[in-house]
Amino acid sequence: MLSRLQLSDFRNYGSAEVDLSPSLNVILGDNGSGKTSLLEAIYFIGSGGRSFRGGRLSRLVRDGAEAATLYAEVLAAEELHRLGVRRTPGGIDAIKLDGQTPKALSEVAALLPVLALHPTSVELVFGSSQLRRRFMDWGMFHVEHQFMPVWRAGSAALKQRNALLRTGRPSQRELGFWNQQLAQTSDRIEGLRRSYLAALQRGLDEVLVVLAPELKIRLRLQTGLQKDESYGQALDRLQTDDLRRGFSQAGFHRSDIRIESHGVVARDRLSRGQAKLVAYGMVLAQLPLISQAGKVCTLLVDDLAAELDEEHRNQLLGYLATTGHQTLITALDMPQWAAIVNDNNALQAVESKMFHVEHGKLRPLTESK
């Protein structure tokens, strides 16, 4: 959970500092004022250097500045950790965790689970398989302790096999060894993914009862394997073509989540509005799994009023008020937020902090309940 954040030269912020509520935080301000950039800064520091907005990451650094710096105080397992990141237009050039350089970015990501609901979340339904794999693997990283070691072993095997394929005439002994390693780790990752998707399905069912009870959605793991085929058999079958192409066409890295609505692929059946609700539901379905792992997630909710109609927006906000996770929500102005709260008893009962952003300047407003 994020307790404090300091920014300098990030997007349109010269400098900013904020102490956050452990429950609900509301960020008010006009369009273009810097509300989304504040959420992006939190996502950046919690995800190990990614943005949910897309585009070139070099633009994270304020025009004319040498580098953007972010400092966060994170409460995890009742311990306070200090995290600092410095990013130049060329990339991250320094990262510190409790005064030390971490061995891997995964050490940072493990401390601050961050999820975001934003206008492009709908791409979970309409976008590439890579987005759904990343979504699935993010959740498993935080809740399944076996996942990361197996994923690293699988990634190493995949890298070695692809390097051999690119030589054009690899040793059959070497190729056979890496085939076995990739097949074994893919089998293990697939098993973990199936268990995770089963738990995620239960969470999604519960969320959709609140958000969109008319939608019946099923999540299935799609491996790309033929019926009754193992990964070892698939690698053997595709080996000649893999040699020609120079990369592996079978393995854990090719899996996808097949999202079905009444037995049909969801992207072919759902409207964009329905797909948004499904995507939001999938993200929110991860929250109880994070709770079961003994962690608190920081959930970033951007531009909800523009993305959902009033009925679905109120249903979603009511659900958020009950999750027990830290939430940051952007809104245009106080009258707009007051109208939302007045229609939602669950929000009225949640302790909250409010902030106002104008031209990259952030100031706290009166705390409320």
Sign of CA dihedral 289, 290, 294, 296: negative
pLDDT value at residue 340: 77
Confidence of residue 180 (pLDDT cuts 50, 70, 90): very high
Does residue 345 carry a pLDDT above 80? no
Q: What is the pLDDT of residues 279-313, one digit of tens each?
A: 999 999 999 999 999 999 999 999 877 778 888 88
Q: Are strands 68-76 and 361-364 parallel, antiparallel or unpaired?
A: unpaired
Last residue of a domain, one of 224, 258, 285: 285
Do residue 314 and residue 265 come from a single domain? no
Mean residue pLDDT across the chain: 91
Q: What is the pLDDT of residues 315-326, one digit of tens each?
A: 888 888 888 899
Do residue 272 and residue 133 come from a single domain? yes
Last residue of a domain, one of 222, 257, 285: 285
Assess if residue 214 is contained within a domain.
Answer: yes
Do residue 246 and residue 338 come from a single domain? no
Do residue 138 and residue 39 come from a single domain? no
User: Are 257 and 204 contacting, i.e. CB atoms less than 8 angstroms apart?
Assistant: no
In the β-sheet with 217-222, what is the strand arrangement from edge to edge?
217-222, 256-261, 264-265
Residue 28 CA to residue 227 CA, distance in Å, equals 53
pLDDT value at residue 238: 96
In the chain, the number of structural domains is 2
Do residue 145 and residue 197 come from a single domain? yes
Do residue 162 and residue 91 come from a single domain? no
Assess if residue 121 is contained within a domain.
Answer: no
pLDDT value at residue 65: 92
Left if phi > 0, otherwise alpha if psi is -120 to 50, otherwise beta: which for 312?
A: alpha
CATH code of the domain in which 322 resides: 3.40.50.300
Which two tokens mark 187? 């089998």
Assess if residue 332 is contained within a domain.
Answer: yes
Listed in sequence order, the residues at least 6 apart from 294 whose beta carbon sits closer than 8 Å to its beta carbon are: 77
Does residue 368 carry a pLDDT above 60? no
Assess if residue 122 is contained within a domain.
Answer: no
Assess if residue 2 is contained within a domain.
Answer: yes
Q: Which range is most confident: 18-32, 107-121, 142-156, 341-355?
A: 142-156
Assess if residue 218 is contained within a domain.
Answer: yes
Assess if residue 120 is contained within a domain.
Answer: no
Do residue 181 and residue 149 come from a single domain? yes
In the chain, what percentage of residues exceed pLDDT 90? Answer: 69
pLDDT value at residue 369: 46
Do residue 143 and residue 264 come from a single domain? yes
Assess if residue 118 is contained within a domain.
Answer: no
In the chain, what percentage of residues exceed pLDDT 70? Answer: 99
User: Are 185 and 232 contacting, i.e. CB atoms less than 8 angstroms apart?
Assistant: no
Q: Are strands 79-88 and 13-19 parallel, antiparallel or unpaired?
A: unpaired
Q: What is the pLDDT of residues 223-268, one digit of tens each?
A: 999 999 999 999 999 999 999 999 999 999 999 999 999 889 999 9
Confidence of residue 367 (pLDDT cuts 50, 70, 90): low
Supply the range of the domain harboring residue 208.
128-285
Which two tokens mark 357? 């952003």
Do residue 281 and residue 299 come from a single domain? no
Do residue 93 and residue 146 come from a single domain? no
pLDDT value at residue 366: 65
Do residue 308 and residue 359 come from a single domain? yes
- Give this prediction's pTM: 0.91
Which two tokens mark 42? 């939190």
User: Are 158 and 235 contacting, i.e. CB atoms less than 8 angstroms apart?
Assistant: no
Last residue of a domain, one of 234, 263, 285: 285
Choose between 264 and 340: higher pLDDT. 264
Do residue 348 and residue 218 come from a single domain? no
Nearest partner of 200 among 145, 132, 250, judged by Cα: 132
Q: Kindly state the helix (H) or strand (E) to which residue 88 belongs, with its residue range.
A: strand 79-88
Burial 68-91 (b: 16+ CB within 10 A, else e): bbbbbbbbeeeeebebbbbbeeee
